[in-house]
Structure 1
Amino acid sequence: MRLTVVGGGSTYTPELVDGLARLRDTLPVDELVLMDPATDRLELIGNLSRRILTRHGHHARVLTTPDLDKAVDGADAVLLQLRVGGQAAREQDETWPLTCGCVGQETTGAGGLAKALRTVPVVLDIADRVRRANPGAWIVDFTNPVGIVTRALLQAGHKAVGLCNVAIGLQRKFAALLGVPPASVHLDHVGLNHLTWETAVRLNGPDGEDVLPRLLAAHGDTIAADLRLPRALLDRLGVVPSYYLRYYYAHDEVVRELRTRPSRAAEVAAMERELLTLYADPALDTKPDLLARRGGAYYSEAAVDLAAALLTGTGSPYQVVNTHNNGTLPFLPDDAVIEVPATVTGTGPTPLPVAPVSPLYAGLMADVTAYEHLALEAALHGGRDRVFQALLAHPLIGQYEYADTLTDQLIAHNREHLAWA
């Protein structure tokens, strides 16, 4: 089995390789191809990947190349984990929206739209080349904004599934609080990528006992602290929102914080420099503890499970993925991309039935789905008016003066990545 990682020079990659090594019985990879145009980082990551696999007695070959067509040739699955513009573009995404008093963040709001506009054309070109090389290959998208990117891939007819680590992170956290194995915890996880709620936490499968009320009663303070939301809010809602909901539920508070501290991009860039120094040590053959602070915790387990289900029919029976709605949430269009538990087989994911969703959450999902539609139109066809419309539609912006100003700033900061600008 041949697995290709586009963006293989990412500091995330050792997390993935560690999972492939530990879970080789779940996903028996023979060749791991790391592709990245940054050849200096690529060789560094490639060598560490070989050492990690060797430490675990895994005999997969690790190949590195800056040539995309060579990398995807013969691939059974292609994992996308790229960042167009690098951390420098992320720094901008997190900064210029603050001038209008709007959240600066790389996956939502104006910054998220900028990332989508840079990323969608690049990903679609990659996917076209994957399809030419091997029409049967699956594309697993871990590239943000996952919902919009996955929608672009599916709309273009690609065999694609979107993946995020939020759900698996919460599953592991809840399992630890409950003192049970992670596999016994099933989440009623509903929403869009980075806009989700846990409406139930069930033991032993999707029909098991809902222990969310017990979990909140016993551990609400811990959960609230992790989300940086008030415990009283969780008690009133009776659900656990994704930590990304803080951008909506505490927008002005977040903006004040962002204006007074270094950007997350600056923190990550410093962390990456330290990680790359560690990776260069020829004695290092494990992923360093610092990597957990980089983000993407449990990404490897989620990716291995998903690839195994798509390619071999093994892996966890239920997985949280990003895929077409197709009537799962009746208040959203069928071609919307939602993030819900699904059964995954070689033919792709099939969402599990979802209980009726409260208007408190359904309304916000519908608003953001409409924004994502407009964002994808802007990414595919360009034009200032399309960018303006997407920003005006976004619940975190919504005022025409802000949308006008942010449109001009987005184009100015991203002109080199926008073919139409």
Structure 2
Amino acid sequence: MDGVTLPPVEWRRRAGLDALVDALGEARFVGGAVRDALLEMPVADVDLATPLPPHSVIDRLKAAGIRAVPTGIEHGTVTAVLESGPVEVTTLRRDVSTDGRRATVAFTDDWQADAARRDFTINALYADPGTGQIFDYFNGLDDLSVRRVRFIGDPLQRIAEDHLRILRFFRFLARFGDTPDPAGLDACTARARDLMALSRERIADELLKLLVARDAVRVTGLMIERGIFAPVLPEVVSPDRLTALAQAEAAAAIAPDPIRRLGALLPQDPQLAEQIGARLKLSNNQRKRLVATATPHPESRPRALAYRLGVQTAVDALLLAGRSADAAQVSTWAVPRLPIGGGALVAQGLAKGPDVARALRAIEDQWVAEGFPEGSRVEEIVASVLAQALRAHR
């Protein structure tokens, strides 16, 4: 694939980007932006690599009137804040030592040395900002052309350097790949237990990204087959419910959701879901949703379910039950508010206290059961419940 150049994609015209490149003097686009542009995919983040030391980067940006934030300066990263958004500028690096969780780096001016420390060949592509010329040190373009995810160098060594690369291998396979590189797949299988050394936050971050990738269902099945989950999530033993969920999401035209999909991989046990949510250090809201995916819901009417539990939880439950049409309907429904409050009941003669709460519950139950009627029917429901409550206290 000699002579490949970066296409004239829109993000190359981002406001302030040319000024940033000019200020640096020597820099190249690197990583995801180059890869995704060549695949004609949307690009979210733009990164630049430069041989300049971090403090020189800061000095040059300040001289050019560009705000510089030392977001990861010990690892060579400075964030340039442009009017069109942030751009990370990272000094070329080589690894000095690694322990599977973090690396000690030294700065260098050797582009190939910087490429050599990256994980996969498709992530080690650089592009000249001016000409678009691609610099490819490890045949990443060939791998990209056949959508192959391949480690740079010896896969076992790369995994030993950073155990998270096991999950990244499968995430990139799910997002970009058609077939896994056999040596990489075997290395991930052999070293799956290395995942136990990682923080659960890092595992959760990679896993949740993987679960919404283009080919997540097939790749998740491959991971189960290869025993990748066993060391850290032994509860994941079958892709069947995830397969059914993905089909339901597609039928309802509802975007994949990582927590919903994680719920599909787990046994339907609320207590276990709570334990796994805590194990993965999920946020309180994520844990609550995960538990809800494992909890039976006696209410079967779609809108009543959404009213009682919230739209998001209802959509999760309906999709997991294979009820695509109901999920699609509920997903865009504006949940109404009960059109009466306790003050109105007191004004009509009901004594303040538990009687008001009981009457409101009765009104709400009838209102929900009838499908959230409006106008005169609400008045009739209120009058009926109020009459019964007043009679009970005569």
Where on the TM-score scale, by shorter chain, does this alignment land: which range?
Answer: under 0.3
TM-score by length of 2: 0.27
Q: Which has the higher contact order (CA 8 A, sep 6+)?
A: 1
TM-score by length of 1: 0.26
